[in-house]
Structure 1
Amino acid sequence: MTPAISVRRAVTGLLAAVAVAGGLAMGATPAHATTPRSAVTVLPVVDMEATVLAAQIDPRRPDSTLTPGAKDSVLAVERALQARNLLDARWVDGYFGTSTITAYAAFQRSLGYSGLAANGLPGPSSLTALGQGRFTLTRLIGPGAHLQRDGYTIDARTQAMLTESERLLGFHLTLSQGSYNPGGDPTSAGTHDGGGVVDINVDGMSADTRTAVTRALRQVGFAAWVRNPSQGDWPWHIHAAAISDTDLSTQAQNQTGDYYLGLNGLANHAADDGPRIPIQTWEEYQRSH
């Protein structure tokens, strides 16, 4: 190699080094550099279980008490609704009350949903759509596929809950009414119009057995009560609504909210007349067993 060539290469290398250094000084980022941790946007995390639970209980409260463990998640949902001009800023408070229900239903309709899919109760697909670029989801829940049981339509989540209730009891439960039956039972006030709601046949059961069945249903996550002819135009049966089934009709949502507030789920808003046990959802029950 001649001295001239060697000098030219040395100069070229030096100029390249200066150019890189100059680029860094002006703020250029080399390809191998990583983004500073402080510059990464961390989205809020919405707990779907807590959010759906709040959407059932909060509208039924006589005050603005927040559902435990739901505030941050509900706030994130409300802020996303406000950003879409669906919810006034004064209602962005962590309380999933009637104004938030109305705003969420409007968002569901904006997605082209109708019926049960636009009932104001967050479902997995609508909540995912609302969260795009604003929050991420954890503890997703959903009703699952429709199936047949005792000649009635129910969803997979409800079937799993009934199966576990039967395991606890040691005997089979027979339905006298299923779900997804809009207008099919005028005496039910619309509770069976959506998913998650069933009636249990109690023919031949003693009072103690009816109570035991109701307790087992409550244990796995149903809001459940023994119903008798003095309460309405119906025979003896056990009415059960699966808490947090995202296909619940509005009337059934109201019942599950009332259950958490110690009421009987009927129009008279009387005190709960069933066995009192710690209230939990199906998902909470599964985590504890």
Structure 2
Amino acid sequence: MASAIKTRKTATRLLTAVAVLSGLVLSAAQANAATPAPRTEASAVTATLPTVNMEATVLAAQIDPRRADNTLTPGAKDSVLAVERALQARGLLDAKWVDGYFGTTTITAYAAYQRSLGYTGLAANGLPGTTSLTTLGQGRYTVTQQIGPGAHVQRDGYTIDTRTQKMLTEAERLLGFSLTLDQGSYNPGGDPTSAGTHDGGGVVDVNVDGMTSATRTAVAKALRQVGFAAWVRSPSQGDWPWHIHAAAINDTDLSTQAQNQTGDYYLGLNGLANHAADDGPRIPIQTWEEYQRTH
């Protein structure tokens, strides 16, 4: 009998010990669940960095230099300010120009930064590219809404970039017929009448042979819908035949002259040296990326 009582007491002690240990384990688990893991210094810094919207920043770099005043490009101010502060920190931009306005002074400063990275030609045109914009922002901001021209491709015997090709293909889908190019991109000095607009990427001339006036206007409208600054050009405007000139807004390979044209387009101008009023079909202006998000 004494042995049985001793056995029962031992078993009771063991059960009590197990219960206590279980409670301790449970309490520790609950405490760990209730207490969030400590954030590392790197994650805290990343979380507090401002963001730079690349789409908005590149757009501002095309429009702002063409303005007669200091009106800011809608939706771009904070992003441009972050870029300008980074340029100022590198001694490339005076504090008085850190204002959210991506004007000619900021373009010049950004081009100088691109050259400091070893870039030349189109890669140092003052338009932010993904690599330079990201490198400039290290430790200062993160880049969102990234854009780029893509690889070079051939179309109708001319060189264009992948982004432009996709835009043309979508315009053809809207029109229901194919388009033929009279001139492509990346053609430095190839056509003196183009004033350098085709020296970079994103710019094409569309053949309009056999098209009626109404069809030419329809083509220009479709090109505008997908994100081109597009105009029907006539022989009365310059030393060229009838054609449609189109520059892809926000193509980061745009030549300086083409950048100026896309800026003029947003300001209601015709993209020519005479700065006359836009004579094309007026529709809400949007970039290729904005078009894609709504279709």
TM-score, normalised to structure 1, is: 0.87
Q: Secondary structure at the match of 2:277?
A: coil
- Counterpart CA distance in 1 for 2:169 and 2:266 is 23
1:40: how far off? 2.5
Matches within 5 A, 1:1-289: 34-35=38-39, 40-41=44-45, 42-289=48-295
- Counterpart CA distance in 2 for 1:202 and 1:33 is 64
The superposition leaves residues 50-105 of structure 1 with CA deviations (integer Å, 9 ceiling, x where unpaired) of 00000000000000000000000000000000000000000000000000000000
Runs of 5+ in structure 2 lacking a partner? 1-35
- Counterpart CA distance in 1 for 2:270 and 2:139 is 41
The superposition leaves residues 203-240 of structure 1 with CA deviations (integer Å, 9 ceiling, x where unpaired) of 00000000000000000000000000010000000000
Q: Which has the larger radius of gyration?
A: 2
- Counterpart CA distance in 1 for 2:112 and 2:40 is 39
What letter matches 2:266 in structure 1? Y
- Counterpart CA distance in 2 for 1:166 and 1:152 is 18
- Counterpart CA distance in 1 for 2:155 and 2:37 is 59
What letter matches 1:171 in structure 2? F
Q: Secondary structure at the match of 1:283?
A: helix
Aligned-CA RMSD value: 1.3
1:36: how far off? 8.8
Runs of 5+ in structure 1 lacking a partner? 1-31
- Counterpart CA distance in 2 for 1:36 and 1:110 is 33
- Counterpart CA distance in 2 for 1:128 and 1:115 is 19
Point out the structure with the larger helix share. 2
Q: Report how many aligned residue pairs link the two structures.
A: 257
What letter matches 2:191 in structure 1? D
1:262: how far off? 0.0
What letter matches 2:78 in structure 1? D
Task: Work out the percentage of aligned pairs sharing the same amino acid.
Answer: 84
Q: Secondary structure at the match of 1:154?
A: strand
1:147: how far off? 0.4
What letter matches 1:201 in structure 2? N
What letter matches 1:191 in structure 2? T
1:34: how far off? 1.3
Moved over 6 A (4+): none
- Counterpart CA distance in 1 for 2:161 and 2:212 is 29
What letter matches 2:293 in structure 1? R
- Counterpart CA distance in 2 for 1:219 and 1:36 is 46
